[in-house]
Amino acid sequence: MRIVVLGGGITGITGAHALIEDGHEVIVVDRRDAPALETSFANAGQLSFGFASPWAAPGIPMRALSWTLERDAPLILSARFDPAMWSWLIKFVRNCTAKNYQRNKKRLLKLAQYSQRCLHDILRDVPIAFDHQKRGILDLYRDEAALEKARTDQKVLERFGIDCQVLDRERCLAIEPALAATHDKIAGALHIAHDETGDCRLFAHALAERVKQNARASFRFGTEITAIKAKNGRIEYIEVDDGFLKADAYVVSLGSYSPAFLKPLGIALPVYPVKGYSATLSVIDEAAAPRGTLTDEKHKVAMTRLGGRLRLAGFAELAGHDLSIPERRLQALINVAKEWFPEAADYTRFDPWTGLRPMTPDGAPAIGPTRIDNLFLNTGHGTLGWTLSCASARVLADVIANRRPA
């Protein structure tokens, strides 16, 4: 079968790889000049196979209201007339019940754990250098009241079969010795030892190069997708800036831009862009820098070691497709890292980035068929695109082949 994959981010590239492995002819189309140049470019680097969780959780609406009073709150809503944003928020709040949270978390964890197996399957076949580590994720808490919440989270995770532990200060230091300089800030941490890290962009580039080696694969980078044309309940062709593309099937992996392309087809996809930031620094003192990845639970900032670099990432803003980078947001990331690892890097020099996470109200991605016979979705992964990408690709390939997904 000839399949066009729309989008060259991590979900588009892993999807193309899975379809090629299934024997299809695949064309990947993206408006950027190379893979993974948008949301996949400089994310936190965390492969949260055990920490995968929907944002819509009990208590979040009230916490979000309290955050409106904080200058550098983890979540910010822009004051704008945006019907799509307010519609999304209403659906989001409806998912913040205990029942919906349990259902959605179970979905994500099943997909995430499968994704870990799928990633390792790829790595057995394809040698990829992407600053990969298997040190787990350490979620840091600053006070005993917050640590009590971690104990509650531990019980929830254990019910889902996730091996995790609540650690005291000394055990945190055993995992991350560089925290010794700021040990007085640590009340404890939640640790999931089997989670991993890696540079999503490097992985996507290397996997794309692997796919290119197959004669049945081709890439159309630097190609603007202008429209998806349907006729008689099927996609007839994809209109691009230099002509059109025809295929037997089409996969939408356009992240936050997916709803705009699907709307003319009568498909209302509940995906909204949630803006995040990162800063990437060079490590200047090995002993003072983290060895793995940590998250400051209070500020929701991730700090991840990627080879000789330190990646700081966090925050969530609902502001449409705005890609501006306010200096104060970057400085807030820097301040959190400096607080924990003051000598790890030169905090005056860093590479800034922002990206739009394609979020659904319940946190689960949209994977599978649509009411249009030959149109499929693989989008809406939110903050978990890197984590869920390898499983999403296999599920997509199974659905297209009419197999029951694992």
In this prediction, residue 88 carries a pLDDT of 95
Of the candidates 216, 237, 219, the one whose C-alpha atom is nearest the C-alpha of residue 228 is 237
Of the candidates 230, 231, 220, 337, the one whose C-alpha atom is nearest the C-alpha of residue 277 is 337
250, 229 Cβ separation under 8 angstroms: no
In this prediction, residue 376 carries a pLDDT of 98
Q: Which residue has the tokens 């971690």?
A: 150
Interval 44-58: pLDDT, tens: 999 999 999 999 999
Which residue type sits at 208?
A
User: Could you give the angle at the alpha carbon of 29 between the alpha carbons of 26 and 33, nearest 5°?
Assistant: 130
Q: Give the integer Cα–Cα distance in Å for 345 and 342.
A: 8
Task: Specify whether the backbone of 252 is left (phi greater than 0), alpha (psi in -120 to 50) or beta.
Answer: beta
In this prediction, residue 69 carries a pLDDT of 64
Exposed / middle / buried, residue 212 (Cβ in 10 Å: 0-12, 13-18, 19+): middle
Exposed / middle / buried, residue 213 (Cβ in 10 Å: 0-12, 13-18, 19+): exposed
pTM: 0.96
Mean pLDDT per 10-residue run, the chain (406 residues)? 98 98 98 96 97 91 75 76 92 95 94 97 94 97 90 86 93 97 95 97 97 97 96 96 96 97 96 97 97 95 98 94 94 96 97 98 97 97 98 98 94
In this prediction, residue 152 carries a pLDDT of 86
CA distances from 290 to 44, 133, 176, 307, 352 (A): 14, 12, 6, 11, 20
Within 10 Å of residue 130's Cβ, how many Cβ atoms? Answer: 19
Q: Which residue has the tokens 């250098």?
A: 129
In this prediction, residue 68 carries a pLDDT of 66
Residue 331's SS3 state is helix
- Helices then strands, each counted (H, E), the chain: 10, 20
Interval 101-110: pLDDT, tens: 999 999 999 9
* Residue 400: both structure tokens together: 């297209």
In this prediction, residue 63 carries a pLDDT of 80
CA distances from 216 to 19, 137, 249 (A): 10, 38, 15
